[in-house]
């Protein structure tokens, strides 16, 4: 394996990938808002969110579990690491095939229009490509900048096609945008494997064992419960918004939420770079795992605080131009800013538990506080309108910080055993 990238290089590449991918989607959506194309924006935004959700489900948290395997593996453990990868890949492929069957049933039996039907059918093959991704290995080897840059392709290709389909029929736009997601996913995986080969790592011949598959299923299942609740929670808010507030408000809500999500994506970049170090620091006996998690992730906290201030300022600035179409989104931007801070706090605790391998406990706590968030979103809806979703975000993430910190604090006697697992 060639020398690892520095922290600064990884963060720089992650930033570049973000600008290339999510940045391209954001700019395209900004252009659509300026052009008044709310219907296309809402249709694309909703379906693209669910396509990303499908990718996350197929990955089954292997971005974290394989990174942990790779970060803790010694040079002599290449065979074991390769076997862990193949076991995870078999599990991911089974998930992909199950989701493709479910997507096909939806497309032919329940899709409300041609856009939805065609998007789902043409995007579904992308899940098979995602099942072969190697992002977790790159992250564990401290090349997270490369994996992050490659992940930009589904976004960048979708943004390009979104521009091209502005005046297309709904059926054509759905097919083209779905194919763009699948094609971008293929490019992502190809780039990852080219990078791994160039860096000097090749997997051993495919080998799986029932014990390894059971472990992959256990870890992947737990990580699904870690990753899916926040994703389902976000999609539930989109559905509630579309149902109660219509296309225009939903488009503005998605736009403002994407700004906040974009800031949190940058926070996540810093976390990915720091994760191997966090695994090492939480290995062995540790009297204060909460303190260790906070100390190691100081840059994560600083990034979250900075973007909270930046998004709040952006909302205030946009409000100073009432004649602009962007003035309508200004109050939502300012209101979303505090959620960046609370979500940063909760993901720091989540990262600490993930570094110890406590996936099952992490999944339980995440499920609990996101269920609270869904209920709060619905309860606050009649009183707060679209701002109910922001209030629910803040309430649920504050509860999450408390639950996760308590669990991480109780884990100090177990960290030694967990931290050394391959």
Quote the tokens at residue 163: 């521009």
Q: Which residue has the higher pLDDT, 227 or 91?
A: 91
pLDDT band at 284 (very low <50, low <70, confident <90, very high): low
User: In angstroms, rounded to a whole number, what is the distance separating the alpha carbons of residues 315 and 328?
Assistant: 10
What are the boundaries of each domain within the chain? 1-208, 221-422
Percent of the chain clearing pLDDT 70 (strictly above): 93
Read off φ and ψ for residue 213, nearest 5 degrees. -65, -40
pLDDT at site 324: 66
Average pLDDT over residues 147-155: 92
* DSSP characters over 309-346: HHHHHHHHHHHT-TTSGGGGGHHHHHHHHHHHHHHHHH
pLDDT at site 174: 95
pLDDT at site 419: 37
Q: Which residue has the higher pLDDT, 399 or 279?
A: 399
Least confident of 6-10, 229-233, 350-354, 388-392: 6-10
pLDDT at site 286: 66
pLDDT band at 177 (very low <50, low <70, confident <90, very high): very high
pLDDT at site 277: 82
pLDDT band at 208 (very low <50, low <70, confident <90, very high): confident
Q: Global pTM?
A: 0.73
Residues 6+ apart with CB under 8 A from 243: none
User: In angstroms, rounded to a whole number, what is the distance separating the alpha carbons of residues 219 and 13?
Assistant: 29
Least confident of 95-99, 134-138, 277-281: 277-281
| pLDDT digit string, tens, across residues 72-84 | 665 556 778 888 8
| pLDDT digit string, tens, across residues 341-377 | 999 999 999 988 888 878 888 889 999 999 999 999 9
Quote the tokens at residue 39: 């219907």
């Amino acid at each position: 394996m060639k020398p690892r990238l520095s922290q600064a290089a990884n963060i720089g590449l992650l930033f570049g990938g973000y600008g290339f991918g999510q940045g391209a989607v954001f700019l395209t959506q900004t252009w659509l808002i300026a052009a008044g194309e709310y219907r296309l924006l809402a249709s694309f935004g909703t379906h693209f969110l669910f396509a990303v959700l499908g990718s996350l489900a197929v990955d089954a948290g292997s971005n974290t579990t394989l990174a942990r395997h790779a970060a803790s593996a010694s040079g002599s453990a290449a065979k074991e690491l390769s076997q862990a990868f193949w076991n995870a890949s078999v599990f991911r492929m089974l998930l992909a095939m199950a989701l493709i069957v479910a997507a096909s049933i939806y497309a032919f039996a329940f899709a409300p229009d041609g856009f939805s039907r065609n998007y789902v059918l043409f995007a579904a093959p992308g899940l098979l490509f995602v099942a072969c991704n190697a992002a977790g290995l790159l992250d564990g080897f401290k090349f997270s900048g490369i994996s992050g840059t490659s992940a930009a392709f589904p976004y960048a290709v979708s943004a390009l096609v979104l521009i091209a389909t502005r005046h297309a029929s709904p059926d054509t736009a759905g097919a083209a945008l779905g194919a763009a997601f699948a094609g971008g996913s293929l490019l992502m995986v190809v780039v990852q494997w080219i990078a791994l080969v160039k860096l000097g790592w090749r997997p051993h011949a495919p080998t799986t064992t029932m014990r390894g598959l059971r472990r992959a299923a256990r870890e992947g299942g737990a990580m699904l419960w870690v990753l899916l609740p926040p994703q389902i929670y976000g999609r539930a808010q989109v559905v509630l918004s579309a149902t109660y507030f219509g296309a225009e408000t939903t488009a503005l809500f998605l736009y403002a939420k994407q700004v906040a999500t974009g800031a949190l994506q940058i926070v996540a970049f810093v976390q990915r770079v720091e994760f191997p170090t966090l695994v090492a620091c939480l290995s062995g006996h540790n009297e204060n795992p909460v303190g260790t998690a906070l100390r190691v992730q100081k840059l994560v906290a600083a990034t979250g605080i900075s973007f909270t201030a930046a998004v709040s300022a952006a909302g205030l600035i946009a409000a100073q131009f009432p004649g602009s179409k962007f003035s309508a989104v200004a109050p939502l931007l300012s209101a979303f800013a505090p959620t960046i801070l609370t979500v940063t706090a909760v993901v720091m605790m989540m990262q600490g538990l993930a570094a110890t391998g406590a996936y099952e406990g992490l999944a339980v706590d995440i499920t609990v506080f996101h269920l609270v968030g869904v209920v709060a979103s619905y309860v606050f809806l009649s009183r707060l309108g679209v701002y109910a979703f922001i209030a629910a975000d803040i309430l649920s993430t504050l509860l999450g910080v408390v639950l996760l910190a308590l669990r991480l604090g109780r884990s100090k006697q177990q960290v030694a055993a967990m931290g050394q697992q391959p």
